[in-house]
Amino acid sequence: MTHKPFAITLGVGSSLANKTGSWRVERPVYVDRLPPCNNGCPAGENIQAWLYQAEEGDYEAAWRIIMESNPLPAIMGRACFHPCELACNRVQIDEAVGINAVERFLGDRAIESGWTVTSTAPASGRKVLVVGSGPAGLSAAYHLRLMGHDVEVYEGAPLPGGMLRYGIPAYRLPRDVVDAEIDRIRAMGVVFRLNSPVDDVESLMSKGGFDAAFVAVGSQRGKNPEIPSGDAAKVLDAVSMLHGFEEGEGPVLGRRVVVYGGGDTAMDAARTAQRLGATETIVVYRRTRDRMPAHDEEVIDAQAEGVQMRWLSTVTRAEGGRLMLEKMVLDDAGKAVGTGEFEELEADSLVLALGQDTDLSLLDGSAGVDTAGGVIGVDHNQMTGRAGVFAGGDAAASPTGERTVTAAVGHGARAAAAIDRWIVGEILEVPERRPLATLDRLNPWYYADAPRTMRPRLEAVRRRSNFDEVVGGLNADDALFEARRCMSCGNCFECDNCFGVCPDNAVIKLGSGLRYEFNLDYCKGCGICAKECPCGAIDMVPEHR
Amino acid sequence: MTTERTPVRFYQVGSFAVGNRLVALDQRSAQSDPERANSLTSGHRACAGCGEALGARYALDAAMRITKGQLVAVNSTGCLEVFSTPYPETSWRIPWLHSLFANAPSVATGVAAGLRAKGRGDVRVVGQGGDGGTADIGFGSLSGMFERNDDVLFICYDNQGYMNTGVQRSGTTPGAARTATTQAVGPHPGNVFGQGKDMPRIAMAHDIPYVATATVADLFDLETKVERAMAHHGARYLHVLVPCPLGWGAASSDTIRLARLAHESGIFPVFEAEHGQVVSSLPIRRRTPVEEYLRPQRRFAHLFNKSGEVSAVDVVAQIQAQADRNIERYGLLTEEEL
């Protein structure tokens, strides 16, 4: 206190001595919420996490995050109907992030670059049987192998892939892509037994010494309702037609083809018929366009390729060269009812796409398995009534009724996790889902305006004569742009906004990848950080007194 | 346009958020730097959510970055002075002086002259104050500083009233706003229209090298303007809109949102001028009716009924007309929006 200027009695102190945190009635808390894309993904992908890596251009890291849940990114980037994009919050701002396109880009990049996955888990010595090599079977086999189990996949067909190969036409899913992703699983040590239909799961399990089984035989049999038909009528079912075509039998359909049904398989059959030389392909459906179960994208593509639609009609009789249709109306409940009014339609062939079912006789010997209604009953862990036998894919009952490639991959992954627990005598505990990151929690002002990048599409006229892939992929620039449209809903992506907007400097930046921390000594609880957080990753909670 | 930023490829949050892990360090705002100057540090006694505390740190940290720490600030009396320096504590981490309410521009002039006399032309001088110290009490000395073209950047943090003395009306209080001295009573409740002082235009009328406005809602814009101002010598003026939760009767968390709405509605035009001519303006991104800006503020509560609908239709229309005039005068809409 000796060298003080005149009339100054106290030394200068910093206001840091004044802990303004004591004013606070609410405190900010960083939270992580479930992004709607992840919530909407039937395969259980952590989409936001892989987009985060892709935003930085680290495509391999992004791909490896996909591979944690889904071993088929290049396939999924083509065949998935991307419910994630329907759920995406960005839909309400401009357009959904093109998640599916980025996934395909990553999947293709992995195939080009030869990225592989190896199991680092110690060998468990346990053996698991997988019946069926479709998406569910492949997914289960992959995950089980990653966990260190020996896996044998039994497949009745000469080539693996199930519906990926024999159901989805090549113009939607090229076969080299299917082969590449299956080969990667094979290279991990999964054993494929092809041309090996299974007729009794129980005896195969005991003969082969399997500890558990996953049944994913799909629904490969077209439903054949009784349609009175004359001898000369050419009637075939869509599933057999697509399968047969894949095996090299060119079905003779004629010039005028009628496809009966309104699902995705009907669209596949109609678009395939167009490519096989039909001059006119007509889809007959008993209800209206908005009630069609087929995905919009498929219907739009089919129509672009010249497929015609006839709504509110049923086929009542097939004769050689012509069909009898009955006109329908929708009643108040939306059910189609006949009007008694008939008309004739010329047709060289009739393709039935009225749903599929499954031959489940392979489970006849397994006591306790519920196969009522033509599907295998399973619990939330995909286990059937016979302990140790699990089921998934189209063959299993699904609570949502969803029968897609993506749901099948999810079933496979969940079953694998449950099998892994079951063979050591435990039950898989599914963690509770985090609360959803809804748009009202976001501050979208901070996101730059950026409409999505469209994937190139083959011109419709050029599609009719061949099975070239219709939808193209994104280039690296566009994929990066598209990934960066992600708003990271509900999870901090380190934009520094909270760090910048605090009037009290009460946010501590911990460094790249480490996010931030609040300095509660000085935070007055004003709530600006929470309101200005672009992605809604800060909650204000009352202080306890 | 004002925001002539280094063009960056689209980065998720564009150039609107404080930082971005994908952007090069030198393209981020001064505020995203963990080593930023923090010219106004923690422990100050500003109300929770104070826009002025935020605006002062934004502006001075940017000036500190440009001058590499060679900066002196002279403060007029007002909230900013009172909450930052209750004797013997200070929140300032820069050389800082306070003399009187009315004389901050004159003191700043003196500091600049003194530095020049000592051959310290590398040290730059900022004068700063609230709207009271700028538009009313310090107006004469500020005008003199402009007239003499002294080498000072004067920053006005405008919260549209005398807030720390109990929310009295100032020369920048907007029409219809309720303050302690313009109560919401009588046939024309709140502040009267047509008597305010449009400080940026008054500054422009002095033909000084640089005049600009900014808000705490667009950090990049504010920092760019401080940079531009420091690139000039002579008298410069920066007018920053800083919402006041206390005086405006708004939620403390709404400070930045209100500043954003002020710009997006056009009621507070963000522009810059050189030598008396407007040279650019910050376009409105999403045009908003003024009622969206007025509704969250209790000082305008008498313009709305209990369910939040506009009840004083003519008054709100008058405020909207002001916003529309700003939009036209400063060209705040891009061509496609017009």
pLDDT above 90 (res A515): yes
d(CA A356, CA A237): 10
Look at B50 and A446 and tell me if their CB atoms are within 8 Å: no
Å between A397 CA and nearest CA of chain B: 40
How far is A393 from A403, CA to CA, in rounded Å? 7
Per-residue pLDDT tens digits for B118-174:
999 899 999 999 999 999 999 999 999 999 999 999 999 999 999 999 999 999 999
CB contact under 8 A, A530 and B253: yes
Does the pLDDT of residue B219 top 80, yes or no? yes
What confidence score (pLDDT) does residue B258 get? 98
The predicted structure's pLDDT at residue B2: 39
H or E stretch covering A413: helix A405-422
**Strand B277-281 versus strand B271-274 pairing type:** antiparallel
User: pLDDT digits over B37-71, tens only?
Assistant: 999 999 999 999 999 999 999 999 999 999 999 99
B10 pLDDT band, cuts 50/70/90, is: low
pLDDT of residue A220: 84
Please state which CATH number belongs to domain A127-220+358-422.
Answer: 3.50.50.60
Overall average pLDDT of the A265-276 stretch: 93
pLDDT (0 to 100) of residue B91: 97
Band of residue B3 on the pLDDT scale cut at 50, 70, 90? very low
Per-residue three-class SS string for A239-275: HHHHHHHHCCCCCCCCCEEEEECCCHHHHHHHHHHHH
A543 touches chain B (CB under 8 A): no
User: Given this model, what pLDDT does residue A450 score?
Assistant: 74
Domains delineated in chain B: 25-330 (3.40.50.970)
Taking only the tens place, the pLDDT of each residue in A170-198 is 999 999 999 999 999 999 999 999 999 99
Mean pLDDT score of chain A = 92
Domain locations along chain A = 19-32+492-542, 39-115+448-476, 127-220+358-422, 222-356
Give the pLDDT score at A507: 97
A500:B219 CB<8 A: yes
Residue B13 pLDDT: 60
Query: In chain B, what residues touch A488 (CB-CB under 8 Å)?
Result: 12
Average of per-residue pLDDT across A241-259: 87
pLDDT (0 to 100) of residue B8 = 37
How far apart are alpha carbons A261 and A282 in whole angstroms? 10
**For A503, nearest residue in chain B (alpha carbons):** B54
Q: How far apart are CA B219 and CA A302, in angstroms?
A: 50
Same topology between domain A19-32+492-542 and domain A39-115+448-476: no
| B173 neighbors B161 (Cβ within 8 angstroms) | yes
* Omega within 30 of 0 (cis) for the link into A431: no
Structure tokens at A208: 């082969």
Query: Which residues touch B27 (CB under 8 Å, ≥6 apart)?
Result: B5, B6, B8
Q: How confident is the model at residue B338 (pLDDT cuts 50, 70, 90)?
A: low
Interval A194-235: pLDDT, tens: 999 999 999 999 999 999 999 999 998 888 878 888 877 889
What is the predicted pLDDT for the residue at B5? 39
pLDDT above 90: residue A133: yes
Residue B187: helix, strand or coil by DSSP?
Answer: coil
Strand order in the sheet with B153-158: B96-98, B71-75, B124-130, B153-158, B236-241, B210-215, B271-274, B277-281
A19-32+492-542 placed in CATH 3.30.1440.10: no
Q: Which one of A97, A478, A504 makes the best mutation probe of the B interface by having the most chain B beta carbons within 10 Å?
A: A504
Q: Please tell me the predicted confidence (pLDDT) of residue B12.
A: 62
Chain A interface test: which of B5, B9, B11, B12 (most A C-beta within 10 Å): B12
| Nearest-CA distance A9 → chain B (Å) | 9
pLDDT at position A2 is 57
Residue B21 tokens, joined: 């892990």
Given this model, what pLDDT does residue A228 score?
A: 87
Residue B30 has pLDDT above 80, yes or no: yes
Q: Judge whether residue B4 has pLDDT over 70.
A: no
CATH top-level class of A39-115+448-476: mainly alpha
Q: What is the mean pLDDT of chain B?
A: 93
Query: Could you identify the residue written with the tokens 């008597």?
Result: B195
User: What is the Cα–Cα distance from B17 to A495, expressed in whole angstroms?
Assistant: 6
Residue for token pair 């080498």:
B151
- Domain A222-356: top CATH class: alpha beta
Model confidence at B249: pLDDT above 70: yes
Confidence of residue B195 (pLDDT cuts 50, 70, 90): confident
CA dist list (Å): A452 to A283, A449, A480, B336: 32, 10, 12, 20
CA distance A258 to A242: 15
Probe site for chain A from B42, B246, B254, B257 (most A CB atoms < 10 A): B42
Q: Which residue of A has its CA nearest to B31?
A: A500
pLDDT value, residue A221: 86
Query: Looking at beta carbons, which residues of chain B come within 8 Å of A24?
Result: 48
Q: Point out which residues pair with B280 in neighbouring strands.
A: B272
What is the Cα–Cα distance from A264 to B113, expressed in whole angstroms? 81
